[in-house]
Amino acid sequence: MIQKLIDSFRKKGLKITPQRLAIFRILKDNKSHPSAEEIYQRVRKDYRTLSLATVYQTLETLERIGGIKVLRFDRRKTRYDPDLSSHHHLICTGCHKITDLRQDYSKALRLPASLRSRFEINGCNVIFYGICQECGRKNKTQRRRGRIKS
The span from the CA of 42 to the CA of 54, in Å, is 13
**CATH 1.10.10.10 residue window(s) in the chain:** 1-84
What backbone phi and psi angles, to 5 degrees, belong to 78? -80, 140
Task: Kindly tell me if the per-residue pLDDT of 150 is higher than 60.
Answer: no
Q: Give domain 85-150's CATH number out of 3.40.630.30, 3.30.200.20, 3.40.50.720, 3.30.1490.190.
A: 3.30.1490.190
∠ Cα 92 97 100 (to 5°): 95
Third-level CATH fold of 1-84: Arc Repressor Mutant, subunit A (1.10.10)
Task: Kindly tell me if the per-residue pLDDT of 68 is higher than 80.
Answer: yes
Read off the pLDDT of residues 27-50 as tens digits, 9 standing for 90 and up.
Answer: 998 999 999 999 999 999 999 999
Q: 127: helix, coil or strand?
A: strand
pTM of this prediction exceeds 0.75: yes
First-to-final CA distance of the chain: 55
The span from the CA of 34 to the CA of 79, in Å, is 5
Read off the pLDDT of residues 83-102 as tens digits, 9 standing for 90 and up.
Answer: 999 899 999 999 999 999 99
Pairing of strands 127-130, 79-81: unpaired
Read off the pLDDT of residues 104-139 as tens digits, 9 standing for 90 and up.
Answer: 877 788 888 888 889 887 778 889 999 999 999 887
